[in-house]
Structure 1
Amino acid sequence: MPEEITEAELTVARPHATPAVDVAGDLDTDLGGLTSAEAERRIAIAGPNQLPEPPRRPAVLRFLAHFNDTLIYILLAAAAIKALMADWLDFWVIIGVTVINALVGFLQEGRAERALAGIRDMLSPDASVRRDGAWKSVPADELVPGDVVRLAPGDKVPADLRLFEAHRLRIDEAALTGESVPSAKDVEAVAVDAGVGDRHSMAFSGTIVASGQARGIVTSTGALTEIGRIQSLVSGAGSLATPLTRQLDAFAKVLTLVILGMAALMMAIGRFVHDMPFDELVSAAIGFAVAAIPEGLPALVTITLAIGVQQMARRKAITRKLTAVETLGAVTTVCSDKTGTLTRNEMTVRRIVTPLGGYEVTGLGYAPDGAITRHDGAAPGADVTAVLAVGTLCNEAHIVLDGEQHRLVGEPTEGALKVVAAKGGVSSQGSRRLAVLPFDSEHKFMATLNEGADGARAFLVKGAPDRLLDRSTSQRGADGREAVDPEHWMRIVDELSAEGLRVLAAARRPAAPGTAAVEMDDLEELEFLGVWGIVDPPRPEAVTAIEDCHTAGVRVKMITGDHAGTAVAIAREMGIVDGEQPRVLTGAELEALSQDQLQAVARDVDVYARTSPEHKIRIVRALQSHDEVVAMTGDGVNDAPALTRADVGVAMGIKGTEATKEAAEIVLADDNFATIRSAIREGRRIYDNLRKSIVFILPTNGAQSLVILVAVVFGLALPLTPVQVLWINMVVAITLTLALAYEPAERGIMLRPPRASRRSIISGGELGFVLAVSAVIGGASLGLFYGALAYGSSLDYARTEAITMLALGQLAFLFNSRFLDRSSLTRDVLTGNPMVWWSALALIVLQLAYTYLPFMNELFESRPLDAASWLAPVGLSIAVFFVIEGMKWVRRRFAADS
């Protein structure tokens, strides 16, 4: 070993494609391991085998950053105005709203940081390493490049290793690659351009050894490992502003300009037309701004979304970020992982083919419920029984009953063979295993020596069809043994593979009495029994959900680590693609495309296979470049970067890793794609209700500001005082506004296309509608106020009538707002949302208290109204309802003609 080693000498380029001996040479080590002194020198250069903590801004700056929002600026401006007016109660209410909003955002932020913490938790705590010529256990963070590590079943791989010994090694890499079955490993170098899932000569940090033993040389530690690269992708993926935040920001900017412009115009008219004193004019302008600014809007948005979060949770979708509820409603594309989301992640035998015919198998998952039926209707015979016997006896898996659920102990493929044997009534009872030859990735089969109840012994073999055919000379025919036809069987294998089935074969050979072991030489001249076609079956409810998504204008794209053939077959069965040759992009093909080239084809490709984390991020970015709102689902740590980058990340709650859950905005409690469909529907409903709530609340401010504006422009007495503006804002906000958050979904909500993500939350037509409604309610209030003055009422009495008109006018408009796009002149407006009636009752009670309680009269300068004085506000509010319905009818006719 040299005295000094540079950092460059502790790295190996493409170790998966380099012979293990050469990798050892490049790392200036050998297969006997390092000395402790050498390891200490190397750790000083390479650093500990840990994923680095991400840099974080100080908590104070992260908290203050949540005030950097246009709507918050409006609120702070309103608070400043309230302070100038010495309305300290209103001042502290507004400040409280802004602080609570910032606290909510502060507590919810840090998804990416927590995702990185989840990834760091995946690393192994210790490792078996060869140091000073002996094996010892050391903390995994002390490993260095060049160390020799050994692996055993159940171990978590402590660093990236180039394998130089592997005995029947299979590693579960699902969290890293998304593949549903453990990956078989060997020591031979693979192609330079092989994807992570095809690097069979490597073992990657954070994955788990399913079976076998191995030894390997540490090639990368810490941030340089494959899982470390994923961590850097998570931290660098970035997140986008949601459609709602973009829309609210744009709306707030427009609203700010409108309010400032109107205030300036009002001041100019008051000064130059009516020659109002400057201090009185400034006071009126401030009152106008206070009336016009919808300071309750951020709270309305937050509370409406929070209600949506509760309702989503009832549908098994746990929301980790409020705005994600609404973003789901804007989704145009769902990029879904295959295993466990679209499929059950429970391997199931679907087909059995013997020399005598083909058989279909019904039933899904690990429950032994189902039947085996022959294509021609004949009952299964001894040919099937022989295949099933091999499947259940030459097997290391077990199915256990956990409560009412059947749970697999072992590998999924072997579990499928156990289950289908049970469906066929074949069990291991009466048979005794005498010896076993475990599965080996070099030979690709497993064999056992079993003794039956009659004392006869036989070698039972299952494995890759081509390997068993090479060792078979006969097959089980109708009249006993007959010559095997390898070409016929390989055609069957190709047909099953084209259907997305994983194919395994069964064979047997009698053993001589007294045989007690299984040797490779014993497994020649086998009798070929048939093959199984195994699949991770689609979730039936997911098929329906995908069809519903397509109807709603939402594209579904499958992004999986599985091979292209399997991916296309499942996608066709799910209804994601159709046609004879749907387009599919593999990771290798995607690697050859530039980002511009990928953007050109991304929307046309619905199946991506053999993908890596980088590929998933590129796909999401390519779709987003077309203004697509992308939802990304995933369960493995390899999905975390793409979930962070997507507009809304959706993690699996049952089988998902902690890193994935922390990176996501939505966590599915049932790991079911159908829940995504329901969540999209719920998101659309919540957005509809949010839009209704905003359209409803704005005329409250619009009518008040219009009343003040008209009074100033025409030099008349003000119908409202600032404290009365505060009252009407408060009473409407705490009673009527939130009623619309509980509205049920509109009819046909999943039959319409997704809304444009960059459109304003309030369209130009709706803004005009808001102004017209403000004019109607404000005009009624003005008429009632000046009419009362004309009939000799006191100023305070007339103002009380005007306030009552504003409150009842908003109550009438609440029923108009329940159905913005269709008529409210229907029985439906009276049913479906009990909160409307409770809110109406609360408003009336509070308005009665405002009118008749002495302390309220003192605080707000209101006066008790006699019974006759209620007739005009009630009658005008009913008239307001019908006038607004007429305006809605005109809008619908205009929209239909345009």
Structure 2
Amino acid sequence: MAKEQASSLEIEKPHALAVSDALRELSAEQDGLTSDEAKRRLAEVGPNRLPAPDRDGAIKRFIKHFHDILIYILIVAAGITALLGHWIDTWVILSVVIINAIIGFIQEGKAEEALAGIRKMLSLNAQVRRDGQWIEIEADSLVPGDIVRLRSGDRVPADLRLIKATNLRIEESALTGESVPADKNTEEVDADAGVGDRFGMAFSGTMVAAGRGTGVVTATGPNTELGRINRMISEVQTLQTPLTRQMARFSKVLAVVIVGLAALMLVIGFALHEFELGELFLAAIGFAVAAIPEGLPAILTITLALGVERMARRNAITRKLTAVETLGSVTVVCSDKTGTLTRNEMTVRHVITRGGDYAVDGTGYKPEGEVTLGGEQVELHEHPHLHAVVEVAAVANDTEVSEDEREWRVTGEPTEGALRTLALKLKFDAESHERHDSIPFESDNKFMATLNSRPDGSRAILLKGAPDRLLDRCENELSADGEPAALDREFWEERIEALSAEGLRVLAAAAREVSDSKSELSLEDVEQDMIFLGLIGIIDPPRPEAIEAISSCHEAGIRVKMITGDHAGTARAIGIEMGIGKEDEIKVISGAEIEAASDDELQQIAHDCDIFARTSPEHKLRLVKALQARGEVVAMTGDGVNDAPALKRADVGVAMGIKGTEATKEAAEIVLADDNFSSIERAIEEGRTIYDNLKKAILFILPTNGAQGLVMLAAVVFGLTLPLTPVQILWVNMVVAVTLALALAFEPAEPGVMQRPPRKPGASIMDKAMLIRLAIVSVLIGSATIAMFKFELMRGMDLDVARTMAVNTLVIAQAFYLFNARFLTESSLSIKLLFSNRAALIAVGVLVLLQMGFVYLPFMNLWFGTAALELRHWLVPLAIGATVFLLIELEKALSRRLIAQK
């Protein structure tokens, strides 16, 4: 019995069922459920809310930051030094490990809250019929089979199969991407219809824009359309960023090399030179600590954080640090249309009458822009045909447009707001028309009519609506000479088709004069004898700055793809206007075609086509996955809940900050404060600059490790006294990273950063030229350090003094090399370039102060085994540093010459 009841509360594809069939499947009646039955169903299906996501605790999230193979090596090294009784070494190594974990924990920031953002969309209360009466209850208590009442301004509390609909229009853009509210009715539709075409359904979390209706609850909580998207987000697996993938590969290779060479050191030292085991272990640990770039995670984080600050000044708010670098790797930008590429503000573009085709400038609800005919600006009183159309548009209109805190906003229907704005541009006075009666818009009729008195005292019926419905009611049209003439339906249908092909929503206007005594209006009054006045073409206009941004993306080798829930014709027209594709080449793929394609076929489709229309959340998610499967680095933009799963899956999700839903913002890594696509292009430029600076930082830091590793390896292989101790090596690694390497984060963008193609996905962060330079610098500094150390010992210098000089040699050589690393290929032998980055000079100054403390402060001498130096002891490291600088500049010059000869 329980099994039968459970199945009766589940209904498959309610949009395809007649109302009577839906009620029967749900064991429901139009009088509603009894309280007892509702209570029993609530116990069975659970409350009408979305489940909270599982979250890791703070301790678990902190511990995750120790999960790195190089960190494991450092922990083992700390353990061995503890066993050997070198407690200072142990605590210094552990301190570095813990500091890195803290930095990573802070970098992670707050956990994902996408599901919480969706839950905020749910209604709090609902009007429901229980025990034969209408009552208000908490929406949590709704169950399948409940009868719910909807009114204008309500948030739909659950998925409903509509039983009654009176002028019902519901704002569904968060789910469907449609820029205008959907007209609702009670008719069933095809079982395969998309969410945007299910006109007999009202979905949880959407808003009633106009009218009223009644529906039976078909799904609650996690079983609603909103719950399905919620599930998709929770199931979507996020991918590693290109940088984290590269660093992970680098860490594994480095770990194998370090462990292998450390083992080789133990064998050679024990077999050839009969080192004591304790000393050998200390040497191996010193080598491991030398080879691991402990300061690299810190410098990567700081560089990314500085990038975040710069991006915020350019209206791109970053929620995850790694997203900054990922933007620089992007090869494809997938963008929603409504509110991202377009303004999500309906705008009149054309008014077509027998007097001519009038073009309308301006975008959005701000009443600025010219109305022209043949390129000449027009005055309304000189164009009676235009006046007649504008009169209908402005007077048969229940929407207001007003300025609020310097923003023009619409109160009511977006389409009517566009008409009202047109009237304001032409300074038409709608207030002087007195309304006596009206026929409101209904989805069955698809028109609105009003009975008004004009300023001159005459009365007229003004009618606006769907062109086909108005053409059926007109026998005459307003001819070119201003007199009524026989309707040329073929002419108007050609114009309607042309406007629709441009992606415009088309409305028609008609009118007729009536006697001054008429005071009531009925449907019979508009059934015939109306005079057709003209057509109005309306569109959600592209953002002009977005057109420029798309062009810049194309120059940078980045493809832009539009993925929208809107109709194919509209998507195609916008795509052509945005410059996404050429008119004779562009192809639009529908959601149905995506649905029918296999994963392999979809990969090819996703690569070949740039515009996708009538897409569902699943389609968007599949497209992102298909592009990633081809090795693309994908940025996905959007503002609706239907975009959230794809945003979470993309390599970097970009949400709109003004008109985006909370769920979308929480699913994204980047939030645009100005909802402007051009901010994405600027963010990509910033991301490329940051990546260049990270490359410079890595190319700068790794030779330090290479030189130190070479010093330790050579000492054991040749049976020498160790020139450095593990804690001294840690000092060099950290002090060089947090001072000198940090200066590279402030480097400006390289010339032509947005004219070069994206770097290849999966390409190593270090190319062949970088590896060659790394080897050269490592050998130069390492060899000079060993030679200097050995020479000073031969002259009878104390071991602590010689080691202090070895540390100074490494640090000072790196300070000189910093100025080489600021330019990957360009020469640094220029006074102007040498001092163009103030941060580099400040960093060198700070380094000098830290190194003076390292050499002369007693507690530093105790912790690090150093000794005070005389002034002459600084001259040799300075000479070595200057030599390294000049030799690397020579290598860069040779590299430029070789490149030029190719």
TM-score scaled to structure 2, two decimals?
A: 0.96
Shift of 1:88: 4.3
Task: Tell me if 1:712 matches 2:711.
Answer: no
**TM superposition shift of 1:870:** 3.2
Out of 489, 502, 506, the position equivalent to 2:505 is 502
Query: 1:25-424 alignment to 2 at 5 Å?
Result: 25-56=24-55, 60-81=59-80, 83-84=82-83, 85-86=86-87, 87-101=89-103, 103-104=105-106, 107-109=109-111, 111=112, 114-375=113-374, 377=376, 379=378, 381-424=383-426
| Higher mean C-alpha displacement, 4-13 vs 539-548 | 4-13
Compared with structure 1, are the counterparts of its residues 267 and 3 closer, same or farther at alpha carbon in structure 2 (3 Å cutoff)? closer
Are 1:785 and 2:784 an aligned pair?
no
2:706 paired residue number: 702
For residue 715 of structure 1, report the CA deviation from its aligned partner. Answer: 2.0
Q: Does 1:490 align with 2:493?
A: yes
Matching of residues 279-678 of structure 1 within 5 Å: 279-375=278-374, 377=376, 379=378, 381-479=383-481, 480-523=483-526, 524-678=528-682
Change (3 A) 1:71 1:262: closer
| Contact 2:329/2:688 (<8 A) preserved | yes
The amino acid of 1:425's aligned partner reads K
CA distance in 2, matches of 1:870, 1:551: 51
Residues 100-151 of structure 1, C-alpha deviations (whole Å, 9 max, x = no match): 0453366433x1xx21111112111111111111111111121121111111
Q: How many residue pairs align between the two structures?
A: 894
* TM-fit CA distance, 1:855: 5.1
CA distance in 1, matches of 2:641, 2:859: 62
Paired residues of 2:294 and 2:734 also in contact (CA < 8 A): no
Tell me, in whole angstroms, the C-alpha distance in 2 between the residues paired with 1:75 and 1:321: 27
Bigger drift between 857-866 and 21-30 goes to 857-866
Moved more, 74-83 or 212-221: 74-83
Measured after TM superposition, the shift of residue 783 of structure 1 is 2.6
Contact 1:78 1:295 in 2 (8 A): no
Worse overlay, 846-855 or 504-513: 846-855
Aligned letter for 2:404? D
Counterpart of 1:293, as a letter, is: I
- More deviation in 81-90 or 144-153? 81-90
CA RMSD, Structure 1 to Structure 2 (Å): 2.1
Deviation at 1:284, TM superposition (A): 1.6
- Please name the residue that 2:809 is paired with: 805
Q: Give 3-state SS (helix, strand or coil) of 2:824's partner.
A: coil
Q: Percent identity?
A: 55
CA shift, 1:773, in A, is: 0.7
8 Å CA contact 2:62–2:101 kept in 1: the answer is no
Distance 2:65 2:545 in 1: 40
CA distance in 2, matches of 1:238, 1:851: 51
SS in 2 for 1:844: helix
Shift of 1:872: 2.8
Instruction: Tell me the distance in 2 between the aligned counterparts of 1:692 and 1:878.
Output: 20
Alpha carbons of 1:378 and 1:407: their partners in 2 closer, same or farther (altered >3 Å)? closer
Structure 1: how far apart are the matches of 2:108 and 2:652? 19
CA 1:15/1:858 → structure 2, altered by over 3 Å: closer, same or farther?
closer
* 1:559–1:864 distance in 2 versus 1, CA, 3 Å: same
Asked if the contact 2:505–2:539 (Cα under 8 Å) also holds between the matched residues in 1, the reply is yes
Once residues 13 and 865 of structure 2 are traced to their aligned partners in structure 1, the CA distance between those partners, rounded to angstroms, is 81
Letter in 1 for 2:467: P
- Give the counterpart of 1:833 among 829, 834, 837: 837
Q: CA deviation at 1:59?
A: 5.5
Determine if contact 1:583/1:606 at 8 Å carries over to the other structure: yes
Q: Larger deviation: 866-875 or 600-609? A: 866-875
Distance 1:877 1:763 in 2: 25
8 Å CA contact 2:371–2:377 kept in 1: the answer is no
- Alpha-carbon contact 1:447-1:462 (below 8 Å) kept: yes
Which consecutive residues of structure 1, in runs of 5 or more, have no partner in the other structure?
none
**Pairs within 5 Å for 1:728-743:** 728-743=732-747
> For residues 859-885 of structure 1, what are the alpha-carbon distances to aligned partners after superposition, in whole Å with 9 as ceiling and x for unaligned?
544444444443332222111111112
TM-superposition CA deviations, 1:571-601 (whole Å, max 9, x none): 1110111132511111112111122211121
CA distance in 1 between partners of 2:810 and 2:486 (Å): 94
Question: Is the contact made by 1:397 and 1:415 (CA closer than 8 Å) also made in structure 2?
Answer: yes
Distance 1:363 1:851 in 2: 69
CA deviation vs aligned residue, 1:423-482 (integer Å, no higher than 9, x gap)? 112121321122221111111111111111222111111111111111112122233111
Worse-matched range after superposition: 81-90 or 398-407: 81-90
Tell me, yes or no, if the aligned pair for 1:80 and 1:91 is still in contact at 8 Å: no
Tell me if structure 2 keeps the 8 A contact 1:337–1:560.
yes
For 1:165, the aligned partner's letter is: K
Amino acid of the structure 2 residue aligned with 1:669: A
User: Residues 107 and 368 (structure 1 numbering): CA distance in 2 closer, same or farther, change over 3 Å?
Assistant: closer
Q: Which amino acid aligns with 1:648?
A: V
- Structure 2 vs 1, CA of residues 79 and 509 (structure 1 numbering), >3 Å: closer, same or farther? farther
Query: TM-score normalized by structure 1?
Result: 0.96
**Does the 8 Å CA contact 2:62/2:102 hold for their aligned counterparts?**
no
AA in 1 matched with 2:742: L
Q: Which amino acid aligns with 2:106?
A: V
Question: What does the per-residue CA deviation read over 1:531-565, in whole Å, with 9 as the maximum and x for residues that have no partner?
Answer: 11111111111111111111111111001111001
Question: Secondary structure of the equivalent of 1:209?
Answer: strand
Given that residues 177 and 640 in structure 2 are in contact (C-alpha distance below 8 angstroms), is that contact kept between their aligned partners in structure 1? yes
CA distance in structure 2 between the partners assigned to 1:214 and 1:500 by the alignment: 30
SS at match of 1:558: strand
Distance 1:314 1:376 in 2: 40
* 1:94–1:798 distance in 2 versus 1, CA, 3 Å: closer
In structure 2, distance between residues paired with 1:707 and 1:455: 101
Distance 1:117 1:185 in 2: 29
Q: Is the 8 A contact 2:108 2:320 kept in 1?
A: no
Determine the C-alpha separation between the residues in 1 that align with 2:389 and 2:672. Answer: 39
Q: What are the superposed Cα offsets for residues 287-336 of structure 1, whole Å, 9 maximum, x if unpaired?
A: 22222221222222222222222222111111111111111111111110
User: Kindly tell me: are residues 581 and 734 of structure 1, through their superposed partners in 2, closer, same or farther at Cα, counting changes over 3 Å?
Assistant: closer
CA contact (8 A) 2:188 2:200 kept: yes
Q: Which moved more, 1:669-678 or 1:259-268?
A: 259-268
- Aligned residues of 1:630 and 1:648 also touching (Cα < 8 A): yes
SS in 1 for 2:350: strand
- Give SS of 1:717's match: coil
AA partner of residue 678 (structure 2)? A
Q: CA deviation at 1:637?
A: 0.8
Distance 1:200 1:174, change over 3 A: same
In structure 2, C-alpha distance between the alignment counterparts of 1:116 and 1:813, rounded to whole Å: 49
Match of 1:14 in 2: 13
> One-letter code of the match for 2:162?
L
Alpha-carbon offset, residue 32 of structure 1: 2.1
Indicate the SS of the match to 1:736. helix
Take 2:93 and 2:637, find their aligned partners in 1: how far apart are those partners? Answer: 44
